[in-house]
């Protein structure tokens, strides 16, 4: 389980992820012009949102909550059933009929795995938007891959994973 308690020690903002992690996630979301960036954990047969940055409410997502892993884009990406970048989820054959596409009003999506230093898969780092983005491409994943590596290293160093 990811412990994002690399948090401010007390006072205002206590209980929130560290400003460094928050800024890193915000920078990724803004660079890709997406509505939300999130860190998911694969916990048994569920995808659980461990961190959400952006307009998660519009997707009806909350930290600590989740849904069946088999219904997620994340699992399908890692299984090779979906590309890591989906510029138009409502018109992509592999995603248009998925329940999460309509329930969350998914327009575009990109994901990279969060792999721990011992090789175990923790979950994913994902960006999503309600609007399709025809300019979203595989090359956009470079920033997410670097962020995923940094996030895992940062949290492992602090004993949070």
Enter the pTM of the model.
0.86
How many C-beta neighbours within 10 Å does residue 146 have?
13
Our count of domains for the chain comes to 1
**How far out from the chain centre does Cα 50 lie?**
9
Sequence-distant (≥ 6) Cβ neighbours of residue 161 within 8 angstroms? 2, 3, 116, 122, 152, 155
Average pLDDT over residues 79-93: 94
d(CA 68, CA 8): 32
Residue 55 structural domain = 19-156
What are the tens digits of pLDDT across the range 121-159?
Answer: 999 999 999 999 999 988 889 999 999 999 999 888 877
What pLDDT does 140 receive?
86
| Closest to 114 in 3D by CA, of 103, 101, 104, 124 | 124
5 is a domain residue: no
12 is a domain residue: no
* CATH number (domain holding residue 134): 3.30.450.40
């Amino acid at each position: 389980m990811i412990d994002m308690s690399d948090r401010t020690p007390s006072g205002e903002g206590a209980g929130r992820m560290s400003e460094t992690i928050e800024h890193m996630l915000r920078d990724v979301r803004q660079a890709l012009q997406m509505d939300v960036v999130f860190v998911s954990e694969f916990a048994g047969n569920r995808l659980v949102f461990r961190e959400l940055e952006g307009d998660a409410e519009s997707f009806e997502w909350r930290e600590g909550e989740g849904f069946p892993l088999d219904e997620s884009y994340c699992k399908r990406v890692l299984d090779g059933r979906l590309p890591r970048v989906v510029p138009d989820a409502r018109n992509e054959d592999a995603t248009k009929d998925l329940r999460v596409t309509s329930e969350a009003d998914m327009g575009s999506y990109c994901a990279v795995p969060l792999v721990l230093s011992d090789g175990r898969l923790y979950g994913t780092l994902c960006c999503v938007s309600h609007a399709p983005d025809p300019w979203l491409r595989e090359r956009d994943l470079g920033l997410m891959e670097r962020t995923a590596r940094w996030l895992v290293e940062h949290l492992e160093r602090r004993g949070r994973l």
